[in-house]
Chains A and B, each alone.
Chain A
Amino acid sequence: MAENGRKILLAVDEGDESMYALTWCLKNVISENSKDTLILCYAKPPRAVHTAMEGTVWAFSPDVMESLERYSNDVAQCVIEKAKRACKHLNDVKVETVVEHGDPRDMICEVAEKLKVDLLVMGSHGYGLIKRAFLGSVSNHCAQNAKCPVLIVKKPKPKGGNGKH
């Protein structure tokens, strides 16, 4: 029953929420003794080739495209490095990284299915009028469509003093 070797997929992006999810995960889900596999997944949103508006079609020159591509690769590297550094102290845990291209919502669910993970962990941006009351669209979509259990970690708002009720 106490099987080791869970596969945990953690979705990272540039925001703070996923780093908070990572630290929460390291604190509460993974221990040094467990032989888990932690897979960090970064979904690179595809660069729009041209933002076509009525009348003005921006045709990006190859140089611009290249530098955009390089920038997004750098961002991906940075995010993955930051996440890996946070996991450095785990000895028994295998840390793998996956970088996917495409819409994060679908990519994360696909990767979770492909790798047959046991648990999908993600942060949540909570965009919307009342930030705390809504889930981000990516986490909402993944929670609905992923076939495996999903753990959504929300970053608590820094509250000074006692809470509201």
Chain B
Amino acid sequence: MDTTTAETSSTGAEGAAYQLLTTTATAAAEEKKKTKVLVAMDESDGSFYALKWALDHFFCYPIQRDQEPSMITLVHVQPIFQPFIYPAGPVVYATPAMLDAVKQAQAQNAASILSRALHVCREKKIKAETLILEGDLKDRICQAAEQLHVDLLVIGSRGLGTFKRAFLGSASNYCAHHVQCPILIVKPPPPSKEPHSE
């Protein structure tokens, strides 16, 4: 990466000292740092709407002339399947066959969600990679955001409760509180509006 930045900066300052070249190279290298974006996906329409909105409004043009387009990581968190069902009544232990079936179903589910999401990204010509995590949704997203050092977390919001549009879903609320990086919460559009891209 250093050689390419040195080339782009040497066209301007042809006879400059190498010290100047290296400082501009490091400065340009910092500017060229890709924006890492993490998008949390699940089956709901809200997260697909969030993905589309983010792609439409954020990444339609490069931010600076030299900067490369951002890298999007699509993450899907699978809840861990508890092998104990109905703890209140008779405890039913799931047989290994059932566990396998559920795991397979979950894996298929995750794969289909992420492939749909990848398809959306490819349509808009944005590079994306996928990540499947297991565990509690809120914790895993915040952990992933920190460990990957993302620059932006995009999450849809599905308001549960009586006023569906008025409140944030619990996952997005939790993430908004606990994640360290900037977070973009995209709410689903009001049903009266036509679902065309604005």
Residues of B near A153 (CB, < 8 A) are 182
Q: Chain A residue with minimal CB distance to B156? A: A149
- Interface of chain B, helix or strand or loop or mixed? loop
Is residue B11 within 8 Å, beta carbon to beta carbon, of the partner chain?
no
In the complex where A118-B57, A135-B177 touch, is A152 in contact with B183 (Cβ < 8 A)?
A: yes
Place the interface of chain B in its size category.
Answer: 35 or more
Residue B56 at the chain A interface, CB threshold 8 Å: yes
Return 14 A-B CB contacts under 8 Å, by A number: A1-B60, A24-B182, A28-B151, A30-B63, A31-B61, A134-B177, A135-B177, A147-B190, A149-B53, A149-B186, A149-B187, A150-B185, A151-B182, A154-B179
B184 to chain A, nearest CB (A): 5
CB-based contact B57/A119 at 8 Å: yes
Q: Is the CB of B185 within 8 A of A143?
A: yes
Closest 3 CB pairs of A and B: A2-B60, A153-B182, A149-B186
8 Å CB interface, B69-118 against A: none
Q: A31-B63, A151-B182 are in contact. Are A1 and B124 (CB under 8 A)?
A: yes
B197 at the interface (CB under 8 A from A): yes
A144-B173, A149-B53 given; A154·B167 CB < 8 A: no
Across the interface, do A154 and B181 meet the contact criterion of CB distance under 8 Å? yes
- A2-B60, A27-B63, A118-B57 are contacts. A154–B182 as well, Cβ < 8 Å? yes
Complex CA gap A150/B197 in Å reads 18
State in angstroms the CA–CA spacing of A165 and B185 once bound together: 26
Contacts of B186 in A (CB 8 A): 149
Residues of chain B within 8 A (CB-CB) of A147 are: 165, 187, 190
Q: Give A125-165 as 1s and 0s: 1 = Cβ < 8 Å from B's Cβ atoms.
A: 00000001111000010011111111111101000000101
If A28-B151, A150-B184 are given as contacts, then 19 extra A-B residue pairs at C-beta distance below 8 Å, sorted by A number, are: A2-B61, A6-B57, A28-B63, A31-B62, A31-B63, A133-B178, A140-B177, A143-B168, A143-B185, A146-B187, A149-B50, A149-B53, A149-B187, A151-B182, A152-B176, A152-B185, A154-B179, A154-B182, A163-B146
Main secondary structure on chain A at its contact with chain B? loop
Instruction: With CB as the reference atom, state the residue of chain A lying closest to B167.
Output: A144
Residues of B close to A3: CB separation below 8 A: 56, 60, 197-198
B180 and A132 form a contact (CB under 8 A): yes
A61 lies within 8 A of chain B by Cβ: no
Quick one: which of A148, A151, A153 has the most chain B CB within 10 A?
A: A151
Tell me whether A86 is interfacial, beta carbon within 8 Å. no
Query: What A residues does B152 contact at CB under 8 A?
Result: 28
Q: What residues of A have a CB within 8 angstroms of the CB of B197 in the complex?
A: 1, 3
Q: A3-B60, A28-B151 known; A149 and B198 CB under 8 Å?
A: no
B190's closest neighbor in chain A, by CB? A147
Residue A97, interface by CB 8 Å: no
Nearest-neighbour CB distance to chain A for B47, whole angstroms, equals: 13
Which residues of chain B in 16-57 are interfacial with respect to chain A, using CB atoms and an 8 Å cutoff? Answer: 35, 50, 53, 56-57
